[in-house]
């Protein structure tokens, strides 16, 4: 079955899974030259096999709120593809979580994980549980209840979850505690654990820092650097605040962060003191808007950051947060680089628009791969029961991000996608990630 027929098949089979279909199409449009050069992929129906997850496990989660009332949520684990290693990918707790969202994230994760060059397959999971407004005890009860169901399906050599939106170190530690309690194993079954009981140094920072390391390579490829560049960041969570922190450390100027309530704009730029304040504020679920009373700047209620003049945008909140109208604003406001800290933050139309104007564009599966890469380093530290230092991991992360950049740039050139120095990182990353997975599947025959 050709790539286009495989897409028609999933559109007919899963008509309501719009996010999943969007992610599949984005890969499909760019891998054609590679696919055409490898007739064995078609013979073995590699694309048709890759768009169908190995399995999707769905389960009910019963838990009690602080009033003693029984609450019921839905949970899922999408085990998408394990041809390169154990399924690996985060857990998202957010009311917008559906099977479609988790399938898009799991599909992206296959190629992202392949790009890291580390032995990890792709998966994703989560629940429609909304952590907002829940007490500490409710969060803890929910995490225990979630792992009480999930533990049947995960194991250090089979499927290793981690955090994502709504799941940070606190939630991972509660889930790990339940897994240990049920199985009596102390293994690397989940990553992002607390440092001191198996967690890796730098996992918290890795995604945001990694995205900025990727940006540094993009700038270097254009004989430029980050010093003095004005940067728009969206989101104010784990990825956003660490991306902002690294930009500041390297001499760039971060003008914005945002959340679901609006955008914080500080034309003076953030610094370490302000970022530390923001981290503390978000950790206590307090409003971003309070920043203005302490440090000045402007609170733009219910607005996104994309209308502000700058050089670089790092969308790091959630999927489809940048639509075509936002993309026009970015181009009109002089943005030259868009680096996806989040997974699929640009709609398909937004991607087409910025690429048309030759805005340098790094897709999430390449730019935000630093998080899962350090998770994989956590898995190996757990296996040998040793810790590596912050500096050692930072060096590995820099090297992994540079390799992802260079291999994507090389593939863009090799498959004729580089145009007058404009590197097509989207095509390059999809080709490299897809090829690594497809070649493993070819080697296995029809199993997997
Ligand atoms: N954590 C990681 O290591 C990795 C994360 N990612 C991706 O990065 C993105 C952010 O994840 P992470 O930082 O971990 O999540 P967090 O939960 O730490 O932060 C999410 C941030 O995004 C904001 N946000 C969420 N939904 C919306 C929305 N609809 N509109 C505007 N703002 C929104 C949240 O605001 P509010 O608080 O108001 O909800 C919050 O500031 C996701 O796409 C995730 O999949 C990718 C690779 C690894
Ligand atoms: O660290 C991990 O395993 C998962 C990270 C993740 O969910 C992602 O890359 O989107």
What residue's CA is closest to ligand 2, atom 2? Answer: 372
**Is position 96 annotated in a ligand binding site?**
no
Q: How many domains does the chain have?
A: 2
Q: From the CA of 89, how far away is ligand 2's center (Å)?
A: 4
Residues 282-294: pLDDT tens digits?
999 999 999 999 9
Q: Which residues contact 58 (CB under 8 A, 6 or more apart)?
A: 74, 75, 76, 99
**Statement to judge: residues 208 and 183 lie in one domain:** no
Q: What is the CATH number of the domain that holds 238?
A: 3.40.50.720
**Is position 207 annotated in a ligand binding site?**
yes
Q: Which residues contact 8 (CB under 8 A, 6 or more apart)?
A: none
Q: Which of 367, 384, 411 is the last residue of a domain?
A: 367
End-to-end Cα separation, the chain, in angstroms? 18
Whether residue 156 lies inside any domain: the answer is yes
Burial of 206 (0-12, 13-18, 19+ CB in 10 A): buried
**How far from the centroid of its chain's Cα atoms is residue 122's Cα?**
12
Q: What is the CATH number of the domain that holds 54?
A: 3.40.50.10860
Residues pairing with 90 in the sheet: 162
Cβ 382 under 6 angstroms from ligand 2:
no
**Statement to judge: residues 7 and 110 lie in one domain:** yes
Task: Identify the CA nearest to 321 among candidates 208, 230, 234, 215.
Answer: 234
What residue's CA is closest to ligand 1, atom 35? Answer: 259
Task: Identify the CA nearest to 71 among candidates 63, 80, 81.
Answer: 63
Please list every protein residue whose CB sits less than 6 Å from any atom of ligand 1.
163-166, 207, 235-240, 259-261, 316-318, 321, 341-343, 368, 371
**Statement to judge: residues 114 and 254 lie in one domain:** no
Pairing of strands 253-259, 230-234: parallel
How many other C-beta atoms can be found within 10 angstroms of the C-beta atom of residue 194? 12
| Conformational region of residue 133, where left means phi above 0, alpha means psi within -120 to 50, and beta covers everything else | left
Whether residue 50 lies inside any domain: the answer is yes
Pairing of strands 230-234, 312-315: parallel
pLDDT at residue number 374: 98
What residue's CA is closest to ligand 1, atom 38? Answer: 260
- In this structure, what token pair is assigned to residue 135? 């007490």
Whether residue 173 lies inside any domain: the answer is yes
What residue's CA is closest to ligand 1, atom 39? Answer: 260
What residue's CA is closest to ligand 1, atom 5? Answer: 164
Cβ 340 under 6 angstroms from ligand 2:
no
Ligand 2 pocket, mutate which of 120, 123, 372 (most atoms under 8 A from CB) = 372
**Is position 320 annotated in a ligand binding site?**
no
Q: Which of 367, 386, 403 is the last residue of a domain?
A: 367
Ligand 2 pocket, mutate which of 23, 84, 87, 90 (most atoms under 8 A from CB) = 90
Residues 186-202: pLDDT tens digits?
999 999 999 999 999 99
**How far from the centroid of its chain's Cα atoms is residue 404's Cα?**
15
Q: Which domain holds residue 171?
A: 3-187
State mean pLDDT over 11-23: 98
State the catalytic residues.
124
For residues 102 and 127, what is the distance between their CA atoms, to the nearest angstrom?
A: 9
Whether residue 436 lies inside any domain: the answer is no
SS3 content of the chain, % helix, strand, coil (to 5): 50, 20, 35
**Statement to judge: residues 165 and 57 lie in one domain:** yes
| Conformational region of residue 287, where left means phi above 0, alpha means psi within -120 to 50, and beta covers everything else | beta
How many other C-beta atoms can be found within 10 angstroms of the C-beta atom of residue 249? 13
**Statement to judge: residues 359 and 215 lie in one domain:** yes
The structure tokens 């690594």 sit at 436
Q: Which of 338, 367, 396 is the last residue of a domain?
A: 367
**Statement to judge: residues 20 and 163 lie in one domain:** yes
Whether residue 86 lies inside any domain: the answer is yes
342: pLDDT strictly greater than 90: yes
**Statement to judge: residues 108 and 7 lie in one domain:** yes
pLDDT at residue number 221: 97
- Which pLDDT band, with edges at 50, 70 and 90, does 130 fall under? very high
pLDDT at residue number 21: 98
**Is position 109 annotated in a ligand binding site?**
yes
Burial of 443 (0-12, 13-18, 19+ CB in 10 A): exposed
**Statement to judge: residues 127 and 259 lie in one domain:** no
pLDDT at residue number 178: 98
Q: What is the DSSP letter of 305?
A: S
Whether residue 36 lies inside any domain: the answer is yes
**Statement to judge: residues 160 and 251 lie in one domain:** no
Number of H helices and number of E strands within the chain?
17, 12
State mean pLDDT over 27-36: 95
Given a contact cutoff of 8 angstroms between Cβ atoms, the answer to whether 170 and 206 are in contact is no
How far is residue 50 from each of residues 17, 264, 266, 429, measured CA to CA in Å? Answer: 16, 40, 44, 16
Q: From the CA of 252, how far away is ligand 2's center (Å)?
A: 26
Whether residue 373 lies inside any domain: the answer is no
Kind plus residue range of the DSSP H or E element containing 12: helix 3-13
How far is residue 90 from each of residues 161, 165, 358, 407, 443, measured CA to CA in Å? Answer: 5, 9, 32, 25, 28
Ligand 1 atom index nearest CA of 92? 45
Residues pairing with 107 in the sheet: none
Cβ 89 under 6 angstroms from ligand 2:
yes
- Which pLDDT band, with edges at 50, 70 and 90, does 325 fall under? very high
**Statement to judge: residues 215 and 338 lie in one domain:** yes
Pairing of strands 159-162, 55-64: unpaired
- In this structure, what token pair is assigned to residue 90? 């985060």
**Statement to judge: residues 237 and 175 lie in one domain:** no
State mean pLDDT over 4-9: 96
Q: From the CA of 312, how far away is ligand 2's center (Å)?
A: 24
- ipTM of this complex: 0.99
For residues 90 and 100, what is the distance between their CA atoms, to the nearest angstrom?
A: 15
234: pLDDT strictly greater than 90: yes
**Statement to judge: residues 232 and 92 lie in one domain:** no
Cβ 198 under 6 angstroms from ligand 2:
no
Whether residue 162 lies inside any domain: the answer is yes
**Is position 261 annotated in a ligand binding site?**
no
pLDDT at residue number 416: 86
């Amino acid at each position: 079955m050709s790539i286009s027929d495989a897409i028609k098949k999933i559109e007919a089979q899963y008509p309501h899974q719009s996010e999943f279909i969007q992610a599949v199409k984005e890969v499909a449009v760019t891998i054609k030259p590679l696919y055409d050069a490898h007739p064995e992929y078609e013979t073995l129906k590699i694309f048709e096999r890759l768009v169908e997850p190995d399995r999707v496990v769905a389960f009910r989660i019963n838990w009690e709120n602080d009033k003693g009332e029984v609450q019921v949520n839905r949970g899922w684990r999408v085990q998408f593809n394990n041809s390169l290693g154990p399924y690996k990918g985060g857990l998202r707790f957010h009311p917008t979580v559906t099977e479609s969202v988790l399938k898009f994230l799991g599909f992206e994760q296959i190629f992202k994980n392949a790009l890291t060059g580390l032995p990890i397959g792709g998966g994703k999971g989560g629940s429609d549980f909304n952590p907002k407004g829940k007490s500490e005890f409710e969060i803890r009860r929910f995490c225990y209840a979630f792992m009480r169901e999930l533990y049947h399906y995960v194991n250090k050599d089979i499927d290793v979850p981690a955090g994502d939106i709504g799941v940070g170190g606190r939630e991972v530690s509660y889930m790990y505690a339940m897994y240990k309690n049920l199985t009596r194993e102390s293994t690397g079954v989940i990553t992002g654990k607390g440092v001191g009981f198996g967690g890796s140094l730098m996992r918290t920072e890795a995604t945001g820092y990694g995205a900025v390391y990727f940006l540094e390579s993009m700038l270097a490829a254009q004989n430029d650097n980050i010093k003095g560049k004005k940067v728009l960041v969206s989101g104010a969570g784990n990825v956003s605040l660490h991306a902002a922190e690294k930009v500041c450390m390297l001499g760039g100027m971060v003008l914005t962060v945002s959340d679901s309530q609006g955008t914080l704009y500080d034309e003076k730029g953030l610094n370490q003191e302000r970022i530390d304040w923001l981290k503390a504020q978000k950790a206590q679920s307090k409003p971003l808007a309070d920043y203005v009373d302490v440090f000045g700047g402007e609170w733009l209620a219910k607005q996104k950051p994309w209308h502000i003049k700058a050089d670089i945008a790092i969308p790091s909140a959630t999927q489809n947060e940048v639509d075509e109208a936002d993309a026009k604003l970015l181009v009109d406001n002089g943005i030259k680089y868009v680096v996806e800290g989040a997974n699929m933050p640009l709609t398909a139309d937004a991607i087409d628009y910025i690429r048309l104007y030759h805005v340098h564009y790094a897709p999430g599966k390449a730019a935000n791969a630093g998080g899962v890469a350090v998770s994989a380093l956590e898995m190996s530290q757990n296996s040998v029961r040793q810790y590596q230092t912050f500096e050692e991991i930072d060096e590995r992360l820099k090297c992994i991000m540079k390799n992802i950049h260079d291999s994507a740039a090389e593939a863009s050139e090799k498959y004729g996608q580089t145009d007058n120095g404009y590197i097509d990182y989207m095509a390059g990353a999809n080709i490299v990630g897809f090829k690594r997975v497809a070649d493993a599947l070819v080697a296995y025959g029809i199993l997997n």
